[in-house]
Amino acid sequence: MIKVNHLSYAFKIGKKEKENVVPVLHDVNLQVEKGEIVAIVGRSGSGKSTLLNLISGFIQAETGTISINGTKVSGLSESKWAEFRLSHLGFIFQSFQLIPSMTAYENIELPLVLKGTNEKDRVERTKEMLKRVGLEQYQSHYPGELSGGQQQRVSIARALILNPPLILADEPTGSLDSENERELLSFIKELNENYGITFLMITHDHEVASIAHRKVEIVDGYLREGRMLREVQR
Ligand SMILES: Nc1ncnc2c1ncn2[C@@H]1O[C@H](COP(=O)(O)OP(=O)(O)OP(=O)(O)O)[C@@H](O)[C@H]1O
């Protein structure tokens, strides 16, 4: 599903003549199989978000390659990346990243609008997704009128609406209380077991890491493979 080969990344800070190079990732190799839940752990500043941003195409590395679902994505143009993301990747963020001026319904529907799906299909799929995440009665609420757990469910519904095979999550439970965290984690497990969706998640949290099949740790920009935590169901 994901193959990262010899990936290195350095941020360049300051003006061109006086550029400061800050190396962040060193020769990272990572393979995530279809149907796996993989947790990326590591101390603050170790390079976790940088790795996820590279795999998401939000930043581009000069060294190394990334393939997702058989497509070599490293080196794709911005527009090709945007197209690829829409059909292959779903995103879940700690801060939900919902559009505040749009209702729950409109936030969930947005990827379908961007993809140019016709109205009849949009209505059908958005309603079905609202039902799947248990938010039918909240469809007209704006993000500010929903609890943290409900907002995260809207963001998951938006991530799932185009049926991506892979979900990338950055601290998905970071803003949730323990009850909502448990609920979200069992939903992620269900999506993985019932629909075979692959998850790559950054986390600081042991509860989150405990649902992963495998843990990889970044230590000062170097990736260490962890042991298998639980069996992958195929
Ligand atoms: N835009 C940027 N410009 C320069 N340096 C950056 C930039 N973004 C991150 N860094 C640096 O890169 C390193 C890795 O940052 P990154 O955000 O990937 O770490 P992280 O493991 O995700 O941390 P956290 O757990 O705190 O979110 C840090 O030293 C950080 O200061």
Condensed to tens digits (0 to 9), the pLDDT of residues 72-97 reads: 999 999 999 999 998 899 999 888 89
pLDDT at 193 over 70: yes
For residue 35, which of 212, 183, 161, 169 has the smallest C-alpha distance?
212
pLDDT for 205: 84
**169 CB within 6 A, ligand 1:** no
| Residue-range domains of the chain with CATH | 2-228 (3.40.50.300)
Q: How far is the CA of 40 from the centre of ligand 1 (A)?
A: 14
Does residue 136 contact residue 130 with C-beta atoms inside 8 Å? yes
**22 CB within 6 A, ligand 1:** yes
- For residue 95, give the amino acid letter: S
For residue 130, which of 108, 100, 147, 98 has the smallest C-alpha distance?
108
- Grouping H, G, I as helix, E, B as strand and the rest as coil, residue 114 is helix
Tell me how far apart the alpha carbons of residues 206 and 137 are, in angstroms, rounded to a whole number. Answer: 33
Q: How far is the CA of 224 from the centre of ligand 1 (A)?
A: 18
Average pLDDT value for residue range 196-211? 91
pLDDT for 70: 93
pLDDT at 184 over 90: no
Is the ipTM here above 0.85? yes
